[in-house]
Amino acid sequence: MGRPFFLGSFEEEESDPEVSIPHEEVENEILRYRKALTLSREDLKQLQEKLEKEGSTDAREIIDAHIQMLSDPLMTTHMEEMIRKMKQNTEVVFRSVMADYQEKLSQVQDSLFQQRVIDVIDLSHRVLNHLRPKTRDRFAQIPQNAVIFAKELAPSETAEAQASRVSAFVTQKGGGSSHAALIARSKGIPFVASIDTQLFKSVQGECVIVNGRTGDVIINPTDKTLKEHRRLQLLLKKRTRQLDSETLLPSQTLDGRSVPLYANVGSVLELEEMRAYGAQGVGLFRTEFLLSKEEEFLYLEEKQFSTYQEVFRIGQNLPLAMRLFDLDEEKFPTVLPLCDKRVGVRMGCRGIRFLLNHEELFKRQLRALLRASALGQLRLLLPFVSNVEEVRLTKKLIRNIEKELKSQHVRVKRVLLGCMIEVPAAVMMAQEIAEECDFLSLGTNDLIQYTLGIERSQIEMNTPYSVLHPSVLRMIQRVIESAHLVRKPVTLCGEIATSTDLIPLLVGLGVDAFSCSIRYLPQVKRAVRQCTYRQAIAWAQAALTCRTQKESEKILKKMGAFKREG
């Protein structure tokens, strides 16, 4: 709730005069461009640190992709070549190059590419801001307690917004799965899209209520509506205080079944905060996130070793599941040129396949982790596993490295080995994979995508409903039953671990532990503590008999009604 504030489109460009650059000044112009890239990278890293402190892991991941884009050949070698060729001021050359790139991306009818257009425009503005002597800050004049109305918002704009100053965002373009919306939600700021913002200009200076859950935007609310909204706000604050007071309570169902809660983290800062949220360890440490700090991290064992040592010191002997580098071409475009270009980092070769195809890189990370393991409880987590052979080859590498380290009198503790189950092939081989390792982690985001043949953005829009598709429910059950047959535990990672309505159903399916972003841990614990294992099993069995997603959704509604009655 707040006063409306209208922003112009972030796509609106300031005009730049065309200036011819003499041949002898071209290299100085290139140095000016390099400085703009360096300052842009520093901006984004500072923004990342701010987001880490706020516990906004999803937002951090999006900004991480922006940092990687600054090292893309398009932004580096190609741009410098174009400055030399065109002999014009960098602003004009840069806008020309990026406009061509945006045009090519816009022609691809795919929501992922459309989102990337927004990211490119956002990043372009940041670089141009460092090239221009003076630039306007769209957020500079925003008053306290403002509801921001805009045609569209860039991801960095919602990332830089302060929840204490901005009450909500309302946009005309974009959607619930846009990067700007995901970042806003991770910061606890309501975001409503697909609203004709022009209709609201006549109410400048009046009160507006935005309900991020329902998507309602109410102008000039009546006294009765205002009173009800304030009541709901107070209730939400009360529930938040209650959640905070339950942080140190055990994570178990009403009938005593223990369900450990772990944190998904990607930085040392998040590690320091996880205990305050009641985390019992780390269920997923995204080691590839460390690459955004220094690209050389990938190639220098000693840098990795010292970072992992710090991780284990902060972890204070809690179990830490370190997922080995899960490199993705979309998020880490600069890694591929430094590796074997014959092997791509697309869906066909990512995760453990990529690492096995780049054995020196893989062994370097394994050595650094095994050396650091003397300080804590290391759990190695293999990403994107699809068959038993990948696990066996990794185990052989680990044995050889352990033998080598022991011969050098380096202390190595026994480590547990886990596998991410993220593709249907791994589901079908879950028992055989479980026999080769110590635990399994269900990566539901990728599993839903590859099972249902839908884009990642569609999953984000439909969560928690995508998991209720009968095929997804049965796949989750198959993985859990297969692992339990050989007495191996299963941790569930992914967005659905934060959907509290689904927690009883997942507990009933036999999930042994949950791992999610630290900010969601208190509400997941509350959901665990409010259900009984016996009733959860009954709901799960009922859901497994459903033949359609709608039938599964009816079960979920009955669960909600049962909870309210109880």
Domain with CATH 3.50.30.10 in the chain: 146-242
**Rounded distance, CA 353 to CA 430, Å?**
17
Per-residue model confidence as pLDDT tens digits over 175-194: 666 778 878 877 778 888 88
Which residue is associated with the tokens 């079908």? 428
Q: Which ranges of the chain have pLDDT less than 50?
A: 337-347, 457, 459-464, 564-566
Question: What confidence score (pLDDT) does residue 226 get?
Answer: 81
Q: Which of 162, 164, 166, 135 is nearest to 150 (CA)?
A: 166
Residue 231's Cβ-count burial label (10 Å; 0-12, 13-18, 19+) is: exposed
The CATH H-level superfamily of 146-242 is Phosphohistidine domain (3.50.30.10)
Per-residue model confidence as pLDDT tens digits over 126-177: 899 888 876 556 666 777 888 888 888 888 888 888 777 888 988 887 766 6
Question: What confidence score (pLDDT) does residue 416 get?
Answer: 97
Q: Which residue type is seen at 163?
A: A
Question: What confidence score (pLDDT) does residue 113 get?
Answer: 64
Is the four-CA dihedral 250, 514, 331, 184 of positive or negative sign? negative
Question: What confidence score (pLDDT) does residue 204 get?
Answer: 59
Containing 152, the helix (H) or strand (E) segment is: none
Question: What confidence score (pLDDT) does residue 86 get?
Answer: 92
Fold of 17-131: Enzyme I; Chain A, domain 2 (1.10.274)
**Rounded distance, CA 512 to CA 522, Å?**
17
What DSSP string describes 198-267? GGGGGGTTS-EEEETTTTEEEES--HHHHHHHHHHHHHHHHHHHHHHHTTTS--B-TT--B--EEEEESS
Q: Return the SS3 of 441.
A: strand
Assign domain 257-543 one CATH number from 3.40.50.720, 2.60.40.60, 3.20.20.60, 3.30.559.30.
3.20.20.60
Q: Which residue type is seen at 255?
A: D
Beta strands in 56-196 (DSSP E): 146-150, 166-171, 191-192
Domain with CATH 3.20.20.60 in the chain: 257-543
**Rounded distance, CA 221 to CA 209, Å?**
7
Q: How far is CA 507 from the centre of its chain?
A: 24
Domain with CATH 1.10.274.10 in the chain: 17-131
Q: Do 79 and 93 form a contact (C-beta atoms < 8 A)?
A: yes
Question: What confidence score (pLDDT) does residue 438 get?
Answer: 98
